[in-house]
């Protein structure tokens, strides 16, 4: 080994020592912050503060360190420090190794305690009953659209959206076999199959397709059946001991799923926020047009609108709308007042820090 290589390795060892020392210092300060929060009855998880921390760190990144990696590192650091203030319990749509589980880990870190639930209903219920501190559920995919059951569940719940996150959907073909020709059955969640349809038609057009309730369940089946392969995440390969037979088989690399964190309180404004509402419209010609008119008049950017059938009356609809701004902003308060006066049913589902999709690649 050369003296020059030894010199650089010694420098790395010293830098690592300093980094660990600084992490311990940060953790001690976080514990003091937690004690103050507890004494004053303040929220422990403050997503607006976490967003501020990560954005400031990214602004300091003037070197060649990958931004996506730095973001993940600091997400994990802030989550670990938060758990020193109070261990967090998080429910997610399971089982283990689903994309929702990955999104929960990305948001709350490895130090949190995770509770797998079999349905979106169960996640909402766990948070409402105080069995967990937060819940993570999928809300929409950039290719397949809204997760409609999640939208419907908000109408029956008193919970709020307290943060959002985007996860790049990296789909792999997993199995025990060595070659694609040995795959006889292909299983996965219907959305994962739809999102990799072109690859499947090109490479596995003759195999039997089996839909299951999650990508993790597909991986579990593939682990127990030698002729079965699964479309699932790289994390599932690690957890279920499967080989990755093909990487990134999704039809589009800009494929993201958006997830929501459910909680009991609405975060404070950050200046970069999003609000989600639900409302119905009056039964008359032009009602939806009239209801949406204040968005244009007040120059509020509406980023999404989705409709769902109302359960109360046939052919009535509930509209779900995302727009930029926080419910405490003066302009947004004027918008909300106008909407409330025009709609038979109106509900604020949350105002929370706005996130943008990012991809590790």
Fold of domain 87-168: D-Maltodextrin-Binding Protein; domain 2 (3.40.190)
Q: Which pLDDT tens digit goes with each residue over 47-103?
A: 888 888 888 888 888 878 888 888 888 888 888 888 888 788 999 988 888 889 989
Residue 249, both tokens:
């088989």
Alpha helices (runs of H) in the chain, residue ranges in sequence order: 3-40, 47-60, 67-85, 99-108, 120-128, 148-154, 190-195, 197-203, 215-224, 234-240, 287-297, 330-342
Residue with tokens 């990134």: 248
- For the chain, list residues with pLDDT below 50: 361
Domain ranges of the chain: 1-86, 87-168, 172-246, 266-353
For residue 95, say if its preceding peptide bond is cis, omega within 30 degrees of 0.
yes
Q: 292, 356 in Cβ contact below 8 A?
A: no
C-alpha 23/C-alpha 294 separation (Å) is 48
What whole-number distance in Å separates Cα of residue 117 and Cα of residue 240?
19
Cβ atoms of 270 and 49 closer than 8 Å: no
- The correct answer on CATH 3.40.190.10 for the domain covering 172-246 is yes
C-alpha–C-alpha distance, residues 276 and 20, integer Å: 40
CA triplet 121, 192, 166: central angle to 5 degrees?
Answer: 65
* Per-residue model confidence (pLDDT) at position 360: 55
**Using CA atoms, how far apart are residues 142 and 149, in angstroms rounded to an integer?**
17
> Do 172-246 and 87-168 fall under one CATH topology?
yes
- Would you state the pLDDT for residue 22? 93
What pLDDT is stored for residue 201 in this prediction? 95
CA 170 to chain centre: 14
pLDDT reported for residue 348: 96
What sign results for the dihedral spanned by CA atoms 168, 169, 175, 179? negative
> 266-353: which CATH topology?
Alpha-Beta Plaits (3.30.70)
C-alpha span between 272 and 92 (Å, rounded)? 26
Can you tell me the distance from the alpha carbon of 217 to that of 225, in angstroms, rounded to the nearest whole number? 12
Of 355, 357, 339, 356, nearest in space to 347 by CA: 339
Class of domain 1-86: mainly alpha
């Amino acid at each position: 080994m050369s003296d020059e290589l030894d010199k650089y390795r010694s420098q790395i060892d010293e830098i690592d020592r300093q980094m660990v020392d600084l992490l311990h210092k940060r953790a001690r300060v976080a514990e003091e912050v937690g004690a103050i929060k507890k004494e004053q009855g303040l929220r422990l998880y403050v997503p607006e503060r976490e967003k501020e921390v990560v954005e400031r760190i990214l602004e300091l990144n003037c070197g060649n360190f990958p931004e996506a990696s730095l973001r993940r590192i600091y997400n994990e650091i802030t989550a670990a420090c938060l758990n020193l203030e109070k261990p967090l319990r998080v429910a997610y749509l399971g089982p283990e190794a689903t994309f929702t589980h990955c999104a929960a880990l990305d948001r709350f870190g490895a130090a949190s305690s995770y509770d797998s639930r079999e349905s979106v209903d169960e996640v909402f219920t766990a948070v409402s009953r105080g069995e967990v501190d937060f819940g993570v559920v999928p809300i929409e995919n950039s290719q397949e659209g809204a997760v409609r059951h999640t939208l419907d569940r908000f109408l029956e719940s008193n919970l709020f959206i307290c943060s959002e996150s985007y996860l790049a959907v990296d789909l792999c073909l997993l199995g025990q076999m060595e070659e694609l020709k040995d795959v006889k059955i292909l299983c996965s969640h219907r959305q994962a199959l739809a999102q990799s349809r072109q690859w499947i038609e090109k490479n596995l057009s003759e195999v039997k397709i089996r839909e299951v309730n999650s990508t993790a369940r597909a991986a579990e089946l593939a682990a127990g059946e030698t002729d079965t392969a699964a479309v699932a995440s790289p994390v599932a390969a690690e957890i279920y001991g499967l080989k990755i037979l093909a990487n990134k088989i999704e039809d589009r690399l800009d494929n993201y799923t958006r997830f929501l964190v459910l909680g009991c309180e609405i975060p404070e404004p950050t200046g970069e926020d999003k609000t989600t509402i639900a409302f119905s419209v009056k039964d008359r010609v032009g009602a939806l047009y009239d209801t949406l008119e204040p968005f244009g008049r007040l120059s509020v950017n509406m980023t999404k609108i989705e409709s769902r059938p109302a359960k109360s009356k046939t052919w009535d609809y509930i509209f779900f709308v995302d727009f930029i701004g926080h419910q405490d902003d003066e302009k947004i308060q004027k918008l909300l007042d106008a909407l409330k006066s025009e709609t038979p049913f109106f509900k604020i589902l949350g105002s929370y820090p706005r996130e943008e999709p990012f991809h590790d690649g």
